[in-house]
Amino acid sequence: MVTIRTIEPNAAPEKIPFCETETGRRMLNLFTYCQDAPELGLITGKPGVGKSTAARHYVRSAPGRYLVTASPATSALVPCLQRIAEAIGAHTKLSGAGALAAAITTALEAEPQSPMLIVDEAHHLSDDSIEELRILFDTVPMGMVLVAGRQLRDRLDGNPKQWSQLTSRLSAGLEVDGPLPADVDAICSHHGIDDRDARTTLRRAAHHPGALRTVTKLIGVAAKLAGTAPIVAAHVKDAAHARGLTY
């Protein structure tokens, strides 16, 4: 059962060109800082603001960058370490957390430059898994960023004594409460949408569940409705109606 997706450093180019929003730019800057320093960072926020998209783009942009995406099925220590080992190309036919942790450490220490590990959906990880990541960061000169929902920040803040060893090492953080108007404008420009009313409608859509993910899906449907014509507000509203939404 595959429950953590791995992105190899030389993965194929993205099918859809990356659109750098203002929020996305801030995330990429944080990733770059954490890898170059190297330091430990934390990005938390609402769904649909581009956290996973930015992480995938960063990892695909250069070798030595690795991404694992956690899930409830892999929250425990051994499954988590197995997926990290797979992502970085370490020996995975091992049993036990100790052997896996040693293999991961050896592989990362062999990197010619400071490696970078991004753990997406990190709020799914167990306490033991998070602590092992902290130890890995302490052991290997590397950048590391945990990307998660707001619940991880609440978890850390709710028990400061338990998490003091982790939080004291955090040198970069970003809390994304929601999409910025500039984020929607960047996506509209990326897709060639100049119509003012269409942009206004999409900005409203960005404040509903799904945020920028919803905006992108609406643009996809609107583009099909528009055909070769420019996308206007009517296309966006029809796209929303087709998805059972009203803006």
> Over the stretch 44-102, which tens digit does the pLDDT of each residue have?
999 999 999 999 999 999 999 999 999 999 999 999 999 999 999 997 788 899 999 99
- Check whether residue 152 and residue 201 sit in a common domain: no
Q: How confident is the model at residue 177 (pLDDT cuts 50, 70, 90)?
A: very high
N-terminal to C-terminal alpha carbon distance within the chain: 39
User: Which of 160, 176, 192 delimits the end of a domain?
Assistant: 176
Kindly report whether the peptide bond that precedes residue 38 is cis, defined as omega within 30 degrees of 0. Answer: yes
Q: How far apart are CA 131 and CA 206, in angstroms?
A: 35
Asked if 181 and 203 count as a contact pair (C-beta separation under 8 A), the reply is yes
Integer Cα distance of 244 and 23 in angstroms: 28
Residues 141 and 232 placed together within one structural domain of the fold: no
Q: Do residues 41 and 30 touch, judged by C-beta distance below 8 A?
A: yes
Q: Is the pLDDT score of 15 beyond 90?
A: no
Q: Note the pTM of the prediction, 2 decimals.
A: 0.89
Within this chain, do residues 78 and 117 fall inside the same structural domain, yes or no?
yes
Q: How high is the pLDDT of residue 246?
A: 80
Residue 1: inside a domain = no
Pick the last residue of a domain from 176, 192, 217: 176
> Does the CA dihedral 108-109-112-115 come out positive or negative?
positive
Last residue of a domain, one of 141, 160, 176: 176
Coil, helix or strand for 88?
helix
Residues 166 and 199 in one domain: no
DSSP helix/strand/coil, 230: coil
Number of structural domains found in the chain: 2
Residues 199, 100: one domain? Answer: no
CB under 8 Å to 14, separation ≥6 — which residues?
A: 56, 57, 60
- pLDDT attached to residue 16: 64
Tell me: pLDDT of 13 over 60. Answer: no
d(CA 191, CA 189): 5
Residue type, 5: R
Instruction: Indicate if the pLDDT at residue 1 is higher than 50.
Output: no
DSSP, res 151: H
pLDDT given at position 93: 80
Q: Could you tell me if 199 and 156 lie in one domain?
A: no
- Supply φ then ψ for residue 3, to 5 degrees: -125, -5
Which residues lie closer than 8 Å to 165 by C-beta, 6 or more apart? Answer: 131, 134
Q: How far is CA 41 from CA 37, 84, 143, in A?
A: 11, 18, 8
98 belongs to a structural domain: yes
Shared domain for 228 and 152, answered yes or no, is: no
Count CA atoms within 13 Å of residue 245 on its CB side: 22
Question: Which residue in this structure is represented by tokens 């583009």?
Answer: 223
Rounded Cα distance between 118 and 52, Å, is 10
Classify burial at 86, counting beta carbons within 10 Å of its beta carbon; exposed 0-12, middle 13-18, buried 19 or more. middle
Are residues 50 and 170 located together in one domain of the fold? yes
Domain assignment present for residue 247? The answer is no
Nearest to 120 by CA among 47, 183, 229: 47
Is 143 found in the same domain as 25?
yes
- Contact yes or no for 23/179 (Cβ under 8 A): yes
Are residue 131 and residue 228 in the same domain, yes or no?
A: no
> Which residue range forms the structural domain that includes residue 198?
181-242
Q: Which helix (H) or strand (E) holds 56?
A: helix 51-60
Average pLDDT, the chain: 92
The answer to whether residues 28 and 51 belong to one domain is yes
pLDDT tens sequence across 125-160: 999 999 999 999 999 999 999 999 999 999 999 999
